[in-house]
A = this chain, B = another copy of it.
Amino acid sequence: MFDFTFHNPTRIVFGKKSIAKLSALVPKKHKVLITYGGGSIKKNGVYDQVALALKDHDFIEFGGIEPNPRYETLMKAVELARKEQVRFLLSVGGGSTLDGTKFLAAAIEYTSADPWDIPTAQTQVQSALPIGCVLTLAATGSESNGYAVISRESTNEKRAFFSELCYPQFAILDPETTCTLPVSQTLNGIVDPFVHVMEQYMTYEVNAPLQDRQAEAILSTLIEEGPKVIADPNNYDARANVMWCATQALNGLIACGVPQDWATHMIGHELTALYGIDHAQSLAVVLPALLRNRREQKARKLVQFGRRIWNIDDTSEDEVMEKAIVRTEEFFQSLGMKTRLSQYGITEGLEQVGIRIEKRNEKLGEHQDILREDIDAILKLCRD
């Protein structure tokens, strides 16, 4: 395996009624800004639980952070937080609210220039407010990492950044809060973690058998538990298992000492920016196409994936690989996901994806060998 550093300081507080523990986790001495999204937390009882736990704290609120959180919206929160001298941020919602809150944490402290530098100019974050999190949708893994993805409406850009200072201090995960999610969000919570694991696992072999098996543990559990939450949204145990899979999929652990890909995400981000399809929708379309296009480079791991995850016992490795890709597609379809862009009515202008990625001089894939013509070929497979 490769040399690595692993450090994940986030405290996970997992289980029923865990929101009540906020009271002891959020510092009392400073003003707190509670951030949230479209307001579902005010309907499903989560907000009331948070407000009750923080009844002796001094807090203000900022709502309306979008899915794919927007720079334009977040800058209003930056202004509010600076004015109100907020010193602690509490994100209540899913990965988008939390990603937006991570941007806030860094942007509030970044007073020397435009905070859009943070995700674009690879400006290293020098200071950030502490963040806590009540997670109501487990999908992105953001609750236990230092990554955030921010979109800018005016330029149709979607960009990521990382900082050690942006790990939440704590993340409260109460699986009950996920029981009222709409089906599309529940789907995100299965497909996004599945593809996160694939980005860190489906590369080339570096003799890291524990990391491989830890990745496979998550994949197998998502395949087993995912359909249960679709069939019965109130199945607490299945909700809990899917939620824990999502956290484990992107907390840095399975990335230790192994190569990573992330081309599916990079291409998917462009599809979201250009066509507005959900993050997980884009991933379910791109992953099978990418695997077909990169079969040769990923052969060993693709065979291992077919045998261990899908129990395909053909002797022909070609057969195993093809069947593994088909089974993965069928898994997404069985959950109710579309796997072709044409099913969303998207057939034109796809060459823009490659043009935009090339313009930013980004090299995709674990070998940095996915060039513009490869992206075009992958998107052709995505289309129909």
Give the interface of A toward B (CB within 8 A). 1-16, 18, 207-211, 213-214, 216-218, 220-221, 224-225, 237, 240-241, 244-245, 248, 253, 256-257
Contact = CB atoms under 8 A, between A and B. Distances in A.
18 contacts: A1-B240, A1-B241, A4-B14, A4-B15, A5-B14, A6-B11, A6-B12, A6-B14, A9-B9, A12-B256, A14-B256, A209-B221, A210-B218, A210-B241, A210-B248, A213-B217, A214-B248, A244-B256
User: How many copies of this chain does one complex carry?
Assistant: 2
Contacts of A244: 1, 210-211, 256-257
A208 B224 CA distance: 12
Given A5-B11, A256-B244, A220 B213 contact: yes
A248 B257 CA distance: 14
Contact of A213 (B2, B16, B18, B221): B221
A229 to B, nearest CB: 13
Contacts of A1: 237, 240-241, 244
Contact of A210 (B211, B213, B245): B245
A241 B14 contact: no
B221 A217 contact: no
Nearest to A4: B14
Contacts of A8: 8
A86 to B, nearest CB: 25
Contact of A225 (B7, B209, B240, B248): B209
Contacts of A11: 5-7
Given A4-B12, A7-B10, 17 more contacts: A1-B237, A1-B244, A4-B15, A5-B11, A6-B12, A7-B12, A9-B9, A14-B256, A15-B257, A207-B237, A207-B241, A208-B241, A209-B225, A210-B217, A213-B216, A240-B257, A253-B253
Q: Which 8 residue pairs are nearest across A and B when measured between Cβ atoms?
A: A3-B15, A213-B217, A7-B11, A6-B12, A210-B221, A207-B237, A9-B9, A209-B221
A220 B210 CA distance: 8
Contacts of A208: 241
A228 to B, nearest CB: 11
Contacts of A12: 4-7, 256
Contacts of A16: 3
A206 to B, nearest CB: 9
A216 B221 CA distance: 13
A182 B237 CA distance: 46
Contacts of A240: 1, 257
Contacts of A211: 244
Contact of A209 (B13, B213, B241): B241
